[in-house]
Structure 1
């Protein structure tokens, strides 16, 4: 009887696979955005019928929230893996780059997510808590190594990244943001700042010699 109850409680393996396929397909479709970002497009990309999609996610908002939570969870797990990376600044840069893709997906479902956030303060708290802890753990390593400025906070980094992403709405905006992100991170490096000062000081010394 217990075995029968376990079988009822546990979702079938193919149902779990279908759910994951739908979520992965939804991420790609919503990331692209535009008129193609429909539930029918998600089902087609996942290789399932629209009925299967609705069995897992009865409403559009259910699917959007599930994709969002999955992305936040994956970013948190990625931060954990990056904590063992040799170069703490490169680890932070890689995490921020992955977050650009997450924000692109979020932009593709912004209208529905806005409604979901209004009705679920728990979702907003969940995402901010997980993302802030993830970026904070990587920033702490870079600070401990003396590689980054000490006057930057996890919240500062998140706000700056989100600002970069939402300033751009043209096709190819992600590539542009990634270039800006490289410049931004390099500007926060203690070593980069020290080298810049050193380079600026050398020409001044040479010109002083010429005057003498």
Structure 2
């Protein structure tokens, strides 16, 4: 990629992060282009769909989360590792208001630009869940799809201004329902 194109790409991502953080995932793409001071065509050359833009915004966080899941596999007790990962993925998903809906849809839509990243992220959590289950620390009647759905629920709670205050308490209730010994 040419230097000026790379500069535009990085600048669009910076502005898009600000816009989506402030206005939510349904913010206008035109608004992103306008605030980035680039034409709509330039934005679409880099990011042909809204999901492609979300994927670029979330990619490094998802890569970090995948590495973190690998690290947690060996560093912490299985139940604590699972709750730590769950807390971190909810934090990442909350970083762009409203993006959880696109993430949930992407899991079932192989053509979505977000699909591969979300599937990889879900697999990381599934490995941690299975490790906790193998040690008898987590419910055996749930799978990675259930865990991902709970990520969606916890993120949605944080997206609701009237529920934010309850977020930590509800996180404890949900994580306690996953773990056989209660919340960590």
TM-score normalised to structure 1 length: 0.59
Aligned to 2:98: 107
Which one has a larger percent helix, Structure 1 or Structure 2?
Answer: 1
Of 148, 158, 180 in structure 1, the residue corresponding to residue 170 of structure 2 is 180
Provide the C-alpha distance between the structure 1 equivalents of 2:16 and 2:72, rounded to a whole number of angstroms: 26
SS of the residue corresponding to residue 84 of structure 1 reads: helix
Larger Rg: 1
Matched, 1:66 2:56: yes
SS of the residue corresponding to residue 123 of structure 1 reads: coil
The 1:43/1:77 distance shift into structure 2, 3 A limit, reads: farther
Provide the C-alpha distance between the structure 1 equivalents of 2:9 and 2:55, rounded to a whole number of angstroms: 13
Structure 2: unaligned runs, 5 residues or longer: none
SS of the residue corresponding to residue 100 of structure 1 reads: helix
* Superposition deviation, residue 83 in structure 1: 1.8
SS of the residue corresponding to residue 136 of structure 2 reads: coil
Aligned to 2:21: 31
Aligned to 1:155: 145
Provide the C-alpha distance between the structure 1 equivalents of 2:164 and 2:65, rounded to a whole number of angstroms: 17
In the alignment of these two chains, the number of paired residues is 176
Aligned to 1:190: 180
Aligned to 2:46: 57
The 1:129/1:58 distance shift into structure 2, 3 A limit, reads: closer
The 1:50/1:101 distance shift into structure 2, 3 A limit, reads: farther
Provide the C-alpha distance between the structure 1 equivalents of 2:64 and 2:13, rounded to a whole number of angstroms: 12
Provide the C-alpha distance between the structure 2 equivalents of 1:119 and 1:153, rounded to a whole number of angstroms: 19
Partners of 1:165 and 1:174 within 8 A in 2: no
TM-score normalised to structure 2 length: 0.66
Of 63, 77, 80 in structure 2, the residue corresponding to residue 87 of structure 1 is 77
Provide the C-alpha distance between the structure 1 equivalents of 2:180 and 2:172, rounded to a whole number of angstroms: 15
Provide the C-alpha distance between the structure 2 equivalents of 1:138 and 1:109, rounded to a whole number of angstroms: 21
* Superposition deviation, residue 80 in structure 1: 1.9
Provide the C-alpha distance between the structure 2 equivalents of 1:85 and 1:150, rounded to a whole number of angstroms: 22
The 1:30/1:183 distance shift into structure 2, 3 A limit, reads: same
Provide the C-alpha distance between the structure 2 equivalents of 1:19 and 1:85, rounded to a whole number of angstroms: 37
Of 86, 91, 115 in structure 2, the residue corresponding to residue 96 of structure 1 is 86
